[in-house]
Amino acid sequence: MWWRTLFAVVVITVFGFGTLVYRVASIALIHGEEYQKRAIQQQLRDTEISPERGTIYDRNMKPLAQSASVWTIVIAPANIKNDEQRNFIADNLAEILNLDRDAIYEKACRNTYYEIIKRKVEEEEQKAVMEFATKNKITCISRIEDYKRYYPYGNFAATVLGFTGVDNQGLYGIEAYYDKQLKGVPGRVVAAKNALGTDMPFTYETMIEAQNGNDLVLTIDEVIQHYLEKYIEIAIKEHNVTNRATGIVMDVNTGEILAMTTKPDFDPNTPFEIFDEAARNRIEALPEEERREAILQEQAFQWRNKAVSDTYEPGSVFKILTAAMCLEEKLTNPNEMFNDTGSIKVADRRYRCWRSGGHGVETFTDAMKNSCNPIFITLAQRLGIPGFTRYFSAFGLTAKTGIDLPGEATGIYHKENEMKIVELASSSFGQTFKVTPIQLITAVSAVANGGHLVEPYVVAQIRDKEGNIIESRKPTVKRQVISQEVSKELCKMLEEVVRTGTGKNAYVPGYRIAGKTGTSEKIDTVDEQGKKSGRISSFCAFAPADDPKIVVLIMLDEPHGPNIGGGTLVGPIVGNFLEDVLPYLGVGQSFTPEELARMDVNAPNTVGKSIDLATKSLKDAGLKARVVGSGTTVIAQIPEAGKPIPRSGTVVLYTDEESKGRTVKVPNFVGLSPSQVNLEATNSGINIRFQGAGFEGDMPVFAYSQSIQPGTRVPLGTVVSVEFRIEDYSG
């Protein structure tokens, strides 16, 4: 009996201790890591400290995107004493924070110590919350500092900058591409909790400081960007552009993007709101079940950076590159003579010149000025498919440019083994393939800068919060595509396009501007009848032509009007833009004698002088005099002293009170030639300030608009500004 008892005790002891040892081993060795995590979760409270996101500056250190302190309001429901207090807290927080009262109450009923009530709370609201908590001795409400992204210029450069989400993560644009550098590293507060789940004293708390994000210094120039956005917005309204417009300004030598925009865009401060009023109204008119999908589509549309993410047919702007290819291969020269009969046949297809009957005998420079398709088709056939595709690739049009922005697209182009002579003909003037605007402007920069294909970029430097430079971007030259000699030849030819050819609407007195128009058909867009529809108008220019510094490309997608030629629509936009930007960049003016003859002078003061002295004073200033009245002394003049008047203009001198009130009707100058405008103005007794297109060359120029409406009665001698343009029907 004793041995049996002893045996039973031993068995029970071994079995019991064996089970215990197994359980301990299982907890410690097999499931140790899992239980350790669960213990830490029970014993510690881990709170994240948000880092301050880096500031984005323009090249002159103007902040374009920056972070400011906001707050996250949290509660500890387990510390709420009773249901009466829960209701009291829910009622007041809902009122202060403009939130749903029931949602707050539901969170207040949970058995937790950390519930977020609202993020991104502004200073005034968080003050009101904390005052409420202090006044009512409520200890379960607290605040955590956070940061909110601000864009001080609103929708300025929106598609380039992008925006951030609620957790300060970059979602689009530079904010997304450089998110790793901008966002910083979050900090933490780790506090021990007691058996009741409440925090232990501060001696049991560890804080790890957040590391703030780095700053970015862009190549974007805020002044140039504002000018670009201003003129593109004007163009969209004036020409009813229905599929957005885009523009890029680039340093031809370095690849630095000085400005880039797509309009209409959005306000990155409220990126999920539909910014375009017309789109907003269209969506609101939809049935409710369709509205959600329409909003999502419109948001994606307004966020999209058309300059890098969309492809298009470049049209005749591409002739710059076709010319570069053929000049580099010595297949032609600027003075070679051609005969444009009005059309050319390639295989079974006939291509026509935009001018009925053609341009006749002309040099290659004239063909560029006239944007003559048959001549460029002829040259492309000389070059051949292998040569064309080789240069097409060398100009970077078969690959991404490498610009440091998200969503860059690649072009849609003909492979050499698939290309036929018909595709070669169409490609010579920029049709039947697609490129992105950033690809095209980068290729044109290579033509302007001596033949070097550079890599475009928008971020020049990455700096820490103390201003130390962590990383600095240097210009990257990928390869030399054409020689410096060919580059210089093309610069001269393209200057003639603006001075006397289809690009005259971009002419600015005193500046040497080179450029090319483009009007292309959208090959993949059809109307209800199945016919191709939709046009793209564009203009690419660089200046100064003899020493290029910047290149600008502006593209309008689906403009509407009687004439949607790139020269007619976009040429004036580019001219106005360069007229503002070139002085800002320190580019000096140099006027020709013809330009000087049309420049304004300030009218001298002749009031109180005799007619003879007044007339001599005006003659010395390069002006004419017209005496009105029977007196011998000038008592008034139009234009008044100090006011601008075109050189060789006429100042009306009034010599008695009776004649001072004399007025004339302003004629309707729109549609008239310069000589007709001059005749009408002379007969009416008013002065004309000629603006807009240059007056050299054989391209017909007509009055497009006038500063004073026809029929308005004005004093004799009044100066009326008349803008002249050419009608560009070229491709």
Q: 605 and 622 in contact (C-beta within 8 Å)?
A: no
Identify whether 359 is part of a domain: yes
Contact criterion met (CB below 8 Å) for 244 and 437: no
Q: Give mean pLDDT, residues 236-257.
A: 96
What mean pLDDT comes out for the span 44-73?
Answer: 86
Do 451 and 482 form a contact (C-beta atoms < 8 A)? yes
Specify whether 421 is located in the same domain as 313. yes
Backbone angles phi, psi at 467, to 5 degrees: 90, 5
Residue ending a domain, choose from 585, 618, 643: 585
The answer on 323 and 370 residing in a single domain is yes
Query: Do 152 and 53 share a structural domain?
Result: yes
At residue 196, the pLDDT reads 46
Q: Which pLDDT value is given to residue 203?
A: 46
Counting Cβ atoms within 10 Å, is residue 358 exposed (0-12), middle (13-18) or buried (19+)? buried
pLDDT at 199: 47
CA–CA separation, 423 vs 565, rounded Å?
A: 23
Residue 316 among the catalytic residues = yes
Query: Higher model confidence: residue 526 or residue 11?
Result: 11
Residues 540-598 have pLDDT tens digits of 999 999 999 999 999 999 999 888 888 889 999 999 999 999 999 999 988 888 788 77
Residues 76 and 34 in one domain: no
When mean pLDDT is compared over 109-118, 384-393, 629-638, the highest value belongs to 384-393
Q: Is the pLDDT of residue 731 over 70?
A: no
pTM of the model as a whole: 0.85
Say if residues 577 and 550 touch (Cβ distance below 8 Å): no
pLDDT of residue 578: 96
Which structural domain range is residue 688 located in? Answer: 598-726
Would you state the pLDDT for residue 337?
A: 96
259, 248 in Cβ contact below 8 A? yes
Residues 19 and 108 reside in one and the same domain: no
What is the pLDDT confidence band of residue 137, given thresholds at 50, 70 and 90? confident
pLDDT mean across residues, the chain: 89
Q: What is the largest CA-CA distance in the chain?
A: 156
CATH of the domain at 643: 3.30.10.20
Query: Per the domain annotation, does 581 fall within a domain?
Result: yes
The answer to which of 32-36, 245-249, 296-300, 365-369 has the lowest mean pLDDT is 32-36
Least confident piece of the model among 51-65, 94-108, 178-192, 365-379: 178-192
Which 3-state string (H, E, C) describes 167-198?
Answer: CCCECCHHHHHCHHHHHCECEEEEEEECCCCC
Lowest mean pLDDT segment, chosen from 312-321, 386-395, 474-483, 660-669: 660-669
pLDDT at 293 over 70: yes
Last residue of a domain, one of 200, 218, 236: 218
User: Of the candidates 373, 485, 399, which has an alpha carbon nearest to the alpha carbon of residue 730?
Assistant: 373
Q: Tell me the average pLDDT across 95-107.
A: 89
Give yes or no for a contact between 391 and 380, defined as CB atoms under 8 angstroms apart: no
Residue 295 lies in a domain: no
Question: Using 50, 70 and 90 to split pLDDT, how confident is the model at 79?
Answer: confident
Tally the domains of the chain.
Answer: 4
Q: Are residues 151 and 165 in the same domain?
A: yes
Q: Is the pLDDT of residue 131 over 50?
A: yes
Closest CA to 105 of 119, 89, 116: 89
**Does residue 298 fall inside a structural domain?**
no
Q: Return the CATH number at 76.
A: 3.90.1310.10
Residue 51 pLDDT grade (very low, low, confident, very high; cuts 50, 70, 90): confident
Regarding whether 445 and 417 lie in a shared domain, the answer is yes
Residue 201 has pLDDT above 50, yes or no: no
Cis peptide before 639 (omega within 30 of 0): yes
pLDDT value at 375 more than 90: yes
The 10s digit of each residue's pLDDT in 342-370 is 889 998 889 888 888 888 999 999 999 99
Which stretch of 8-17, 74-83, 206-215, 550-559 has the lowest confidence by average pLDDT?
Answer: 8-17
**Residue 75 shares a structural domain with residue 115:** yes
Q: Are residues 23 and 95 in the same domain?
A: no
For the cut 90, the answer to whether the pLDDT of residue 706 exceeds it is: yes
Same domain, 557 and 642: no
For 403-420, what is each residue's pLDDT tens digit? 999 999 999 999 888 899
544 assigned to some structural domain? yes
| pLDDT (0 to 100) of residue 29 | 63
Going by C-alpha positions, the residue among 291, 132, 153, 161 that lies closest to residue 220 is: 161
Per-residue pLDDT, 5 = 75
Residue 203 in domain: yes
Checking if the pLDDT of 200 tops 50, the result is no
Domain boundary pick from 555, 585, 615: 585
Q: Indicate whether 58 pLDDT > 80.
A: yes
Which residue of the set 316, 426, 427, 445 is catalytic? 316
Residues 731 and 728: their CA atoms lie apart, in Å, by 9
Spatial separation of the C-alpha atoms in residues 587 and 513, rounded to whole Å: 12
**47 band by pLDDT with thresholds 50, 70 and 90:** low
Q: Is residue 107 part of a domain?
A: yes
Q: Please provide the distance, in angstroms rounded to a whole number, between the alpha carbons at the two ends of the chain.
A: 116
With respect to residue 484, please indicate whether it lies within any of the assigned structural domains. Answer: yes
Shared domain for 172 and 314, answered yes or no, is no
Residues 103 and 61 in one domain: yes
Q: What is the pLDDT of residue 150?
A: 92
Taking the C-alpha atoms of residue 704 and residue 668, their distance in angstroms, rounded to an integer, is 11
